[in-house]
């Protein structure tokens, strides 16, 4: 995703200093531009010297090609439009991709890889529509006829598959078979990450307008990430690592298992996205009813659709629209449960989305309305810029770029724990799902962590009276 960042920085370099090897000063850059600069720095294309920017040799070449690169990035929304139809999310003929995407250039391939991986990751297979084409490929199936839907002959699908082949992710075995390479398998396992990257294809062409304040980013703004993809975007990591671990905690962590067993067996997931966590709740024998809530109506609709597709009745899993900072939502939810019923709540990958101010407001409301109801929080953390620069191939820097451009606030781990502590929460336990090793300093940063927290007794408003008496 370096292309949109190159265009974004080039737009603030009218004299083309960077391609000439001269220094460039962008005073007080907007967070979108700062995100682009840090992302390109982590990729070794830019360096900050005395507060000014200078391009590396490789960077100079790319900045010299900025106007050609713009031809590709300005078309990202048409790639997304084709993907939506290919996945059956929108009716009608597949919108034709511009011809430049057939030329096999490096820029065309860079632009096509995330949507192409997303296509395989999300596309229902012809053999079994409940299983995606990507999952069948991962399981070692190779017959095109079994894997791909009928639109097999579509020019756009061929363009996607060809980009994957050129990037050595896919092999064509013969005219009727294809298979993932070892590299392709690694990418497909975390196909949700490609979905996350693709969900911002709505925004990448508009970084400069966003940075200049001509377009606003947000759910109610001019530009927002693609709702269905966003609903599924963290599914890779949620499904593979986080949700199974949380279910394990529900069974084994004393605070959680006791609350579920004695206080009604209710679980609520805040910012539920596509409802992956909510569906997993129902695998836990202690849970009688699962709830999910999300601010985005399109996402709530998608979560309901996915649950229905898996045969889950509404009496078992309900998806509600609401905001995590809406105190009335919490009050209504609590009173709807009946006296003394105490939920166990989860909130995964949301508190960075809303930023520290709203995260604090959520925690305060939670403790004041739900008292000592246990809360399970999963967050992704950022690592220092120098660590990202030393490890350009790791996801951390691209992850941060996407959060910078959308104005989200990835926390440092300590910063987040300070917020929990100062808002009156005590950490009962924590588990780490992934970490990043910084070879130069031989340090390890935890990048995804799940916490089990509870409001400290001295900070609650006695929402449930005696904590040990639930019903
Ligand atoms: C990165 S997704 C995470 C989804 C899900 N928790 C997961 O881990 O797969 C962020 C979700 O938070 C939702 N969200 C953002 N702000 C919210 C708010 N104030 N209240 C409720 N949901 C919110 C978004 O609509 C989106 O579905």
**pLDDT per residue as tens digits for the range 198-251:** 999 999 999 999 999 999 999 889 999 998 888 776 656 788 889 999 999 999
pLDDT tens column, 33-82: 999 999 999 999 999 988 899 999 999 999 999 999 999 999 999 999 99
Our answer on whether the CB atom of 4 is closer than 6 Å to any ligand 1 atom is: no
CA of 461 to the centre of ligand 1 (A): 27
Q: Is 358 in the same domain as 448?
A: yes
Q: Say yes or no: 112 and 204 in one domain.
A: yes
Cross-strand bridge partners of residue 449: 379, 432
pLDDT at position 236 is 66
Distance CA 90, CA 406 (A): 25
Contact 425, 375 (CB under 8 A): yes
Domain CATH for 17 = 1.10.10
Mean pLDDT within 367-371: 95
pLDDT tens sequence across 314-325: 999 999 999 999
One domain, residues 271 and 378: yes
The reported pLDDT for the residue numbered 175 is 75
Q: Give the total number of structural domains in the chain.
A: 3
pLDDT at 233: 62
Q: Is there a single domain that holds both residue 400 and residue 318? A: yes
324 lines ligand 1 (CB under 6 A): yes
Q: Is the pLDDT of residue 382 over 90?
A: yes
User: Which among 196, 350, 403 is the best mutation to test ligand 1's pocket, defined by most ligand atoms within 8 Å of the CB?
Assistant: 350
- From atom 19 of ligand 1, which residue's Cα is the shortest distance away? 323
Question: Quick check: 137 and 178 in contact, CB under 8 A?
Answer: yes
pLDDT for position 468: 44
Q: How far is the CA of 317 from the centre of ligand 1 (A)?
A: 17
pLDDT tens across 100-145, in order?
999 999 999 999 999 999 999 999 988 888 889 999 999 998 888 8
The response to whether residue 295 sits with its C-beta less than 6 Å from ligand 1 reads yes
Of ligand 1's listed atoms, the one at least distance from the Cα of 276 is 9
Query: Number of H helices and number of E strands within the chain?
Result: 24, 11
Q: Identify whether residues 52 and 188 lie together within a single domain.
A: no
Q: Do both 308 and 162 map to the same domain?
A: no
Q: How far apart are CA 54 and CA 33, in angstroms?
A: 15
Measure 35 CA to ligand 1 centroid, in angstroms. Answer: 21
Mean pLDDT of the chain: 92
Q: Is residue 464 part of a domain?
A: no
Torsion angle (degrees, nearest 10) of CA 102, 145, 306, 170: -50
Q: Is the CB of 350 under 6 A from ligand 1?
A: yes
Mean pLDDT of 425-434: 95
> What is the extent of the structural domain holding 90?
74-229
Distance 369 CA to ligand 1 centre (A): 21
Q: Is 231 in the pocket of ligand 1 (CB under 6 A)?
A: yes
Q: Sheet containing 344-348: which strands, arranged edge to edge?
A: 317-321, 289-294, 266-270, 344-348, 375-380, 443-455, 425-438
- pTM for the complete prediction? 0.87
Which residue CA neighbors atom 1 of ligand 1 most closely?
Answer: 349
**Six-digit token pair at 14?**
């009218």
Kindly state whether residues 26 and 136 are assigned to the same domain: no
Both 388 and 280 in one domain: the answer is yes
The protein residue with its alpha carbon nearest to ligand 1, atom 13, reads 271
In the three-class reduction of DSSP (H, G, I as helix; E, B as strand; rest coil), residue 388 is classed as helix
Residue after which a domain boundary falls, among 52, 69, 86: 69
Average pLDDT over residues 447-471: 74
């Amino acid at each position: 995703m370096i292309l949109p960042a190159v265009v974004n920085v080039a737009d603030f370099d009218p004299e083309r200093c960077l391609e000439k090897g001269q220094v460039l000063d962008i005073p007080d850059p907007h967070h979108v531009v700062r995100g682009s600069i840090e992302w390109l720095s982590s990729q070794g294309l830019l360096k900050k010297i005395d507060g000014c920017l200078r391009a590396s040799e490789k960077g100079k070449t790319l900045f010299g090609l900025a106007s050609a690169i713009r031809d590709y990035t300005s078309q990202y929304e048409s790639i997304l439009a084709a993907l939506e139809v290919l996945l059956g999310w929108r009716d009608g003929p597949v919108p034709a991709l511009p011809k430049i995407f057939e030329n096999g250039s490096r820029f065309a391939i860079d632009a096509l890889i995330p949507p192409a991986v997303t296509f395989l990751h999300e596309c229902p297979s012809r053999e079994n529509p409940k299983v995606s084409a990507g999952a069948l490929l991962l399981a070692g199936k190779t017959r095109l006829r079994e894997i791909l839907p009928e639109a097999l002959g579509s020019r756009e699908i061929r363009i996607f598959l060809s980009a994957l082949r050129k990037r050595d992710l896919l092999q064509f075995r013969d005219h009727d078979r294809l298979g993932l390479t070892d590299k392709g398998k690694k990418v497909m396992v975390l196909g949700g990450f490609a979905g996350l990257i693709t969900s911002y294809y709505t925004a990448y062409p508009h970084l400069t307008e966003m940075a200049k304040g001509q377009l606003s980013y947000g759910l109610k703004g001019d530009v927002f990430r693609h709702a269905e993809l966003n609903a599924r975007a963290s599914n890779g990591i949620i499904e593979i690592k986080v949700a199974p671990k949380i279910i394990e905690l529900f069974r084994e962590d004393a605070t959680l298992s006791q609350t579920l067993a004695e206080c009604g067996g209710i679980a609520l997931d805040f910012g539920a996205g596509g409802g992956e966590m909510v569906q997993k709740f129902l695998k836990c024998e202690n849970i009688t009813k699962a709830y999910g809530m999300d601010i985005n109506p399109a996402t709530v609709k998608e979560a309901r659709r996915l649950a229905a597709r898996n045969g889950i009745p509404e009496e078992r899993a309900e998806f509600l629209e609401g905001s995590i900072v809406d105190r009335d939502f919490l009050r209504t939810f609590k009173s709807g449960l009946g006296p003394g019923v105490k939920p166990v709540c989860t909130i995964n990958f949301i508190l960075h989305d809303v930023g520290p101010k709203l995260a604090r407001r959520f925690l305060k409301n939670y403790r004041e309305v739900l008292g000592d109801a246990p809360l399970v929080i999963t967050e992704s953390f950022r690592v220092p810029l120098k660590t990202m620069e030393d490890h350009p191939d790791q996801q951390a820097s691209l992850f941060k770029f996407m959060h910078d451009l959308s104005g989200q606030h990835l926390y440092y781990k300590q910063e987040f724990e300070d917020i929990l502590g100062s808002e009156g929460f005590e950490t009962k336990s924590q588990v780490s799902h992934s970490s990043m090793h910084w070879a130069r300093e031989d340090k390890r940063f935890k990048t995804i962590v799940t916490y089990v927290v509870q409001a400290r007794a001295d900070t609650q408003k006695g929402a449930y009276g005696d904590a040990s008496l639930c019903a």
